Amino acid sequence: MIRVVVVDDEALVRSGFEMILNAADDIQVVATAVGSEAVAAVRRESPDVVLLDIRMPDVDGLTVLAELQSLPTAPVVAMLTTFDTDEYVMTALHSGAAGFLLKDTEPDQLAQLVRTLAAGGVVLSPRASRAVLRGRPTGPAPADAEEATRVGRLTDRERAVLTLVAEGLSNADIGARIHLSAGTVKDHVSAILTKLRVASRVQAALIAQRTGLLDPKNKAGDE
């Protein structure tokens, strides 16, 4: 059973997510909370996944994220946002969030996204990530020489896969786009993480953004 805590300042959002997720046989929302109650709820319930509102009036979602990251057994945290160009999303990804999703995510997708998070995967809402990861003014600093060198060591196929990872596609979607099996894509992603010396798809996606892979003129073509 995947244990989930939902943190949001709006009661309707909390109850809606709780109802949708509890309908899944393998997911249980063990607590819902507003921002000021979030850390205590997580300490009490020891969830696997926390869905955390990035903007709350009582306490900033980034502050809560930092506190959760400092716990001895930190849960996987995905940020919730209403806006597909929320300027805080990039900071959250740099601060250790495992991804982000929009609050209007389709109900039939929500449970699967939580499963992905619990399994160690990354959730990058495609509609939001395309906007946020394309070098927005509030985004991260340009890549340093070492990051550029690491990206330069990738094969053409790996660069193509990395670009699609940065656009928020799943392994299955990437495979369909460039005519590979999901298993082969997974192998490519593992090789990419090793070559870039990063631990997650989010960190790899940020390097892709900083090194300009999302610039249309720099995208690797399909083989």
Query: pLDDT value at position 137?
Result: 41
Query: pLDDT value at position 116?
Result: 83
**61, 88 in Cβ contact below 8 A?**
yes
Q: What are phi and psi of 11, to 5 degrees?
A: -60, -35
Query: pLDDT value at position 140?
Result: 47
- Distance, in Å, from the CA atom of 191 to the CA atom of 133, rounded to the nearest integer, reads 21
Query: Which residues are CB-neighbours of 147 under 8 A, at least 6 positions away?
Result: 196, 207, 210, 211
**118, 46 in Cβ contact below 8 A?**
no
Residue 36 has what DSSP assignment?
Answer: G
Residues of the chain short of pLDDT 50, as ranges, are 135-140, 221-223
Express each pLDDT in 56-107 by its tens digit: 988 989 999 999 999 999 999 999 988 766 667 777 877 888 888 888 888 8
- Distance, in Å, from the CA atom of 4 to the CA atom of 10, rounded to the nearest integer, reads 17
Strand order in the sheet with 99-102: 27-33, 2-7, 49-53, 76-81, 99-102, 123-124
Query: pLDDT value at position 142?
Result: 54
With 0.85 as the threshold, say if the pTM is over it.
no
Query: Which residues are CB-neighbours of 160 under 8 A, at least 6 positions away?
Result: 178, 219, 220, 221, 222, 223
Query: pLDDT value at position 84?
Result: 62
The residue to which tokens 């990804």 are assigned: 93
- Distance, in Å, from the CA atom of 91 to the CA atom of 55, rounded to the nearest integer, reads 13
Query: pLDDT value at position 91?
Result: 79
- Distance, in Å, from the CA atom of 127 to the CA atom of 84, rounded to the nearest integer, reads 7
- Token code pair at residue 195: 């070559």
